[in-house]
Amino acid sequence: MKAKAADFLVYDKELGIYRVNPEQAVRDDVEKHYWRHVGQTIVKDRRLYLMLIPMLLVFLFWRYFPMYELLGCFKVPDKVLPVSQQYFSGFSYFKRLLFAGDGLSTDFWRAMRNTFVLSFYGLCFGFPMPIILALFFNEVRSNIARSVYQVLTYLPKFMSTVVMTSLVTMLVKQGSLTTGMGIVSRALANIGLISPEVANAGLLNNPAYFRAIYQISGIWESAGYDSIVFFAAIIAISPTSYEAAQIDGADKMAQLRYVVLPSILSTIVIMLITRIGHLLNVGYEKVLLLYNPNTYVTADVVSTFAHRNGMGSGAGTGIAAAAEMMNNVVGMILVIGANTIAKKASNTSLY
């Protein structure tokens, strides 16, 4: 905004002169004694700042201090000394992870690849399902029937990750036909989708099936719940749009293509961008609960790699921190990039 003379000066009719605008005088004063002004405001609004303190402390202690611990990835590990007193070692852990070519390094690359693959499959299979489901919900005209469908499909979302993975584990459990093989493995073996040997050994022990189990359980868990936002966009479409399209002779497919799709496109774009932003935040808890040493080949992601090495008896916290550092920096770039694109595309910032 361009400054105008009237901002600074006002005409004093009694004296017939221009004087400094009193508001501007206050502004000048604030500028001159900025820190005094800050102090006075804080004292005046002290209750407001007191309210802020618990939140700031919680975030400082349990969100920002870990970032300080993360600096361990640049330091020589030491069991006794805290991070602050360890010596800097430069990028040795990063070099080790990326270029050493030994078992640890190949494991890291495998984890990195698995992270991307799991996320990418999630994007390909997990993302369209809620949209399709929302289209189907829209076809159900009876409110009662639709509520029943919705209640049933939201249901799995209410389970915890532990209960969900326990159910999955039990349903595809190992065992022979007479000693408690999981009911789903049994059914798949009966209809010939998997061989009986594979079913006997347990699907979760077979690296070839891990990704499928992960994605299918993911869709089962959250497709219904994720469809809420798309369904809300669909029911917001005015009925007159459909009528107009029908008069123009549009069949159902044409209506979906020319009425529904354009109306929910912005929602789809926003959700897609958000999803891409969180591409690297694979749910480590779920992987951790479903994987085992037999399936590391396809299941091990960066977080679980770090978990094994940093919290178990692995290569140490420095290596683990370096692995997570790389994962999280790439993740942050994706989130910020996605947010910027969303801002440009729709004028809505996600945060």
Partner 1 sequence: MKRKLEVTELIFKIISYTLLTVFALCCLYPFVYAISAAISGRSAVEYGSVVLFPKDVQFDAFAKMFSDNMFWNSYSNTLFLTLFGTIWSMLVAILGAYALSKRRLLFRTFFNFFLVFTMWFSAGIVPQYLNYLATKDVFNSVGIMDDKWLVVIAMGMAAMNIILLRNAFEGVPSEIEEAAIVDGASEGQVLTQVFIPMSKSTIATVALFFAISRWNGYFWARQMISNSNEHPLQVFIRLRLEQYTDPEVMAGWNESFASDSVIYALIVCSIVPILIIYPFIQKYFAKGVNVGGVKE
User: What's the CA gap between 306 and 123, in Å, rounded?
Assistant: 24
User: Cα 48 to chain center, whole Å?
Assistant: 32
Q: Give the tokens for residue 102.
A: 């030994």
Q: Does 265 bind partner 1 (CB under 8 A)?
A: no
Q: Give the tokens for residue 61.
A: 């202690």
- Contact with partner 1 (CB under 8 A) among 26, 81, 177, 261: 177
Residues in region 52-111 near partner 1 by CB under 8 A? 52, 54-56, 58-59, 61-67, 69-70, 72, 82-83
Please give the full DSSP string across 303-317, using - where no structure is assigned: HHHHHHHHHTTSS-H
Q: Which stretch binds partner 1 (CB under 8 A): 15-23, 49-57, 94-102, 109-117?
A: 49-57
Question: Residue 226: how many CB atoms within 10 A of its CB?
Answer: 23
- Contact with partner 1 (CB under 8 A) among 6, 20, 124, 155: 155
The site string for partner 1 over 2-21 (x = CB under 8 A, - otherwise) reads: --------------------
Q: Give the tokens for residue 72.
A: 């361990």
Residue 344 neighbours by CB under 8 Å, 6+ apart: none
Name the nearest CA neighbour of 206 among 282, 298, 284.
298
- Contact with partner 1 (CB under 8 A) among 97, 213, 260, 270: 270
- Looking at the DSSP bridge assignments, the partners of residue 12 are 17
Cβ at position 22, least distance to partner 1 in Å: 20
Nearer to partner 1, 13 or 63 (CB): 63
Q: Binding-site residue total for partner 1 (CB under 8 A)?
A: 102
Q: Which stretch binds partner 1 (CB under 8 A): 23-31, 107-115, 178-186, 206-214?
A: 178-186
Nearer to partner 1, 134 or 296 (CB): 134
Q: Give the tokens for residue 12.
A: 């004093």
Nearer to partner 1, 51 or 124 (CB): 51
The answer to whether 260 and 234 have CB atoms below 8 angstroms apart is yes
Nearer to partner 1, 119 or 309 (CB): 309
Residues in region 226-255 near partner 1 by CB under 8 A? 228-229, 232, 246, 249-253
User: What's the CA gap between 18 and 31, in Å, rounded?
Assistant: 22
- The identity of residue 174, as a single letter, is Q
The answer to whether 184 and 209 have CB atoms below 8 angstroms apart is no
Annotate 128-159 with b (16+ C-beta within 10 A) or e (fewer): ebbbebbbebbeeeeeeebeeebeebbebeee
Nearer to partner 1, 106 or 147 (CB): 147
CA distances (Å), origin 177, targets 30, 153, 166, 210, 280: 82, 31, 20, 22, 39
- Contact with partner 1 (CB under 8 A) among 180, 212, 244, 265: 180
Q: Does 30 bind partner 1 (CB under 8 A)?
A: no
- Contact with partner 1 (CB under 8 A) among 49, 87, 109, 120: 49
Q: Which stretch binds partner 1 (CB under 8 A): 20-28, 89-97, 119-127, 316-324?
A: 316-324
- Contact with partner 1 (CB under 8 A) among 143, 160, 240, 313: 160
Cβ at position 50, least distance to partner 1 in Å: 8
Cβ at position 136, least distance to partner 1 in Å: 4
Residues in region 123-142 near partner 1 by CB under 8 A? 133, 135-137, 139-140
Length of the chain: 351
Nearer to partner 1, 9 or 234 (CB): 234
